[in-house]
A and B are shown apart, each in its own frame.
Chain A
Amino acid sequence: MARRMTYRDALREALRDALQRDARVFLMGEDVGRYGGAYAVSKGLLAEFGPERIRDTPLSESTFVGAGIGAALGGARPIVEVMTVNFVLLALDQIVNNAATIRHMSGGQFSVPLVIRMATGAGRQLAAQHAHSLEGWLAHVPGLRIVTPATLEDARGMLWTAIEDPDPVLVFEHQVLYNMEGELAEDAGPVDIDRAAVRRAGQHVTLVTYGGTLFKTLAAADTLAAEGIDAEVIDLRVLRPLDMDTVLGSVRKTRRVVVVDEGWRSGSLSAEILARIAELAFYDLDAPVGRVCSAEVPVPYPRHLEEAALPQPAAIADAVRALLPSGVSAP
């Protein structure tokens, strides 16, 4: 029996489930309590679980992320919400120097079972200080696990698995997905946070993406299908560690790949994926690798410029066509 709900509802259901399952779990962050969260994910949780477990924090990311690390070291299972990825930069010292290193530097004596949730990405005219896609930066850091739920199932299921992980997990929720509606099974529950998923099977080209660009990529695949080009769409789901087996398996089949990433191109996650494909599947490639990334500008505020700066289905389809023989519909 499936229920109709939004991505936001699925996230809230995951939070409630975690808070109910384990008394060590608590949520803290800016405006998560009384206001219900900047994206209204935690709306109603304060009334249900009380101020001890749903805690509003001061506007100091370094402080409350650091407090979360301390709480995790002390045996709690904190979920820290950072309003948006741009603000997480204020807590990078805590995340990179502490959360990611303590297991290593303590010789395995301590671990940091911390979950940090945050919104990422553009598309809602929030301009250049609230709309970047910096998850690729965090995916650079050993000691962290980076997950990017794009579907209702993953929004519902990744949180509990992340809480059970003994090491820090960062959850990136794309801001355009919160209002996305869909069906979620009555018994939806925890899902793995290890593997990429093939969201659409195809023969002619592999499209690798994650998060908010998954649906733009699927739309491009539909357009291409009408032209006889059969695209396979892979949702990475986990940006660190990368599930290259799934990506390489697909590339070896289709021999062509385009990475779609809302992050900037230079020194990016898309660059890392393509480098690994070149390292590990060079002899399987039948065309140069391709990329569709955001324009290398701070995300613009005006709607038309914001749209122009982000990967869009038309550009994704064009990037695929450029890799295929001209005039051949079924390569």
Chain B
Amino acid sequence: MPALGADMEAGTLVEWLKKPGDTVERGDIIAIVDTEKGAIEIEVFDGGVIDRTLVDPGQRVPVGTVLATIRAPEEARAAPEPAVATTPPASGPPAPPASGPPAPPAQVPPVAARPRVSPAARQRAAELQVQLDAVEGHGPGGSVTVADVERAAERHAIPLPPADRTSGMRTAIAAAMARAKRDIPHLYLSTTMDLSRPLAWLATENQRRPVTERLLPVVLFIKATARACAEVPALNGFWTERGFVPGPGVHVGCAIALRGGGLVAPALHDADRKPLGAVASEFGDLVRRARSGGLRSSEMSDATITVTNLGDLGVDSAYAIIYPPQVAIVGFGRVVERPWVVEGRLEPRPVVTVSLSADHRATDGREAGQFLAAIERALQSPESL
């Protein structure tokens, strides 16, 4: 069960889209999982042949539970029972009794140590649906006891499926945001940027595009942020136990408010390398699927930075909270005409305030400032976006 976001504790398997024996390739959608954020399509990490499914539809399991096993294409079909060991035929006369220490006994194949779990703990684990492999034992000889199981159950408390999804999502957002504010020392910078050039370019560009393919300013914002990530990679990635780990690509999480409350921030993959038209259509697709269900597991879990745009609401600027384990979130306010000094003269210009919240553990003000400057530079040459 993949973690479809830092705030996810458990998911319910809704449906298997592949069955044992099916060949799958990395990225194939093999199952649908229901979470607080809706039904998510689960993509497979590795190619091969589905060997066994271990979780049945309807089962709710904690993050990290093995859902299925996959055989590599070259691997033999499910390992047969180990053949009964046969004694090699005696060759020649028996060796004379050796003097000195006896020969080491014939090699016994190593037997995986069976975990020590008390009978009562096993029963309790079944009742509480606790996976025993993950439970640390504190009983005699390091055995797992009832108390260990109950502690583990508390730690991985699987919240009951919420009566309505909204309250479940609220709980999940609460957990993630509380964690972010607790653990992440946020630093905030903002720059107000003159948008007259990019908006003029956009107006021209949209005139030559069919109505359905017209670009919204937010597409420029996403793309400009993605460019800045490529330029200042220190803000694109994750804070882990080992420190900052750069993102494997630029996957911009797009905060999308849902009807009925709550939000999701699915990733727009490789946004820095896609043309504006592709970014626009993928963004539209994400919004549609976020609101109707059908987001994919990779979209839910691998955003490397997040963009939030509250300009539609008339907000001047948005100082957002970082979505862990990411290290930055960029907030765009509304595009509004303001008096602007250009070459010594006052002019009305469309401007936007761009705010950056960055994890001060991973980066410093200097890099954060460079990041904002990179966004501005990208916006000022829209034709190259």
On A, residues with C-beta under 8 Å from B are 255, 282-288, 322-326, 328, 331
Which residue from B122, B123, B145 sits with its C-beta under 8 Å from A325? B145
**How many whole Å from A11's CB to the nearest CB in chain B?**
41
Main SS at interface, chain A:
loop
Interface residues on chain B, number (Cβ under 8 Å): 14
Asked if B82 is at the interface of the complex by the 8 Å CB criterion, the answer is no
Whether B138 contacts A287 by the Cβ 8 Å rule is no
A322 / chain B contacts, CB cutoff of 8 Å = 140
11 A-B residue pairings within 8 Å (CB atoms): A255-B146, A282-B119, A284-B119, A285-B120, A286-B139, A286-B147, A322-B140, A324-B139, A325-B138, A325-B140, A331-B145
Asked if A255 meets B120 with Cβ closer than 8 Å, knowing A286-B146, A287-B145, A328-B147, the reply is yes
Main SS at interface, chain B:
helix
A326 / chain B contacts, CB cutoff of 8 Å = 138
B123 / chain A contacts, CB cutoff of 8 Å = 283
A283 to B117, CA, bound (A): 11
Whether A325 contacts B120 by the Cβ 8 Å rule is no
**Complex interface residues of chain B between 188 and 215 (CB less than 8 A to chain A):** none
Known pairs A324-B139, A325-B147, A331-B145 / 20 extra A-B pairs, C-beta < 8 Å: A255-B120, A255-B146, A282-B119, A283-B119, A285-B119, A285-B120, A286-B118, A286-B119, A286-B145, A286-B146, A286-B147, A287-B118, A287-B139, A287-B145, A288-B140, A323-B140, A325-B140, A328-B138, A328-B147, A331-B147
A286 / chain B contacts, CB cutoff of 8 Å = 118-121, 139, 145-147
B118 / chain A contacts, CB cutoff of 8 Å = 255, 285-287
> Which interface residue of A322, A325, A326 has the most chain B CB atoms within 10 A?
A325
A215 to B123, CA, bound (A): 35
**How many whole Å from A174's CB to the nearest CB in chain B?**
31
A288 / chain B contacts, CB cutoff of 8 Å = 140
**How many whole Å from B4's CB to the nearest CB in chain A?**
35
A287 to B139, CA, bound (A): 7
On B, residues with C-beta under 8 Å from A are 118-123, 138-140, 143, 145-148
A255 to B119, CA, bound (A): 10
What 5 A-B pairs have minimum CB-CB distances, sorted nearest first?
Answer: A325-B138, A286-B120, A286-B118, A283-B119, A286-B145
**How many whole Å from B154's CB to the nearest CB in chain A?**
15
Asked if A283 meets B120 with Cβ closer than 8 Å, knowing A325-B145, A331-B147, the reply is yes
A282 / chain B contacts, CB cutoff of 8 Å = 119
Whether B139 contacts A325 by the Cβ 8 Å rule is yes
Which residue from A283, A284, A287, A328 sits with its C-beta under 8 Å from B143? A287
A299 to B76, CA, bound (A): 64
Chain A: CB-nearest residue to B145: A286
A331 / chain B contacts, CB cutoff of 8 Å = 145, 147
B147 / chain A contacts, CB cutoff of 8 Å = 286, 325, 328, 331
A324 to B122, CA, bound (A): 17
**How many whole Å from A169's CB to the nearest CB in chain B?**
37
**How many whole Å from B367's CB to the nearest CB in chain A?**
46
**How many whole Å from A224's CB to the nearest CB in chain B?**
15
> Which interface residue of A286, A288, A326 has the most chain B CB atoms within 10 A?
A286
A196 to B247, CA, bound (A): 68
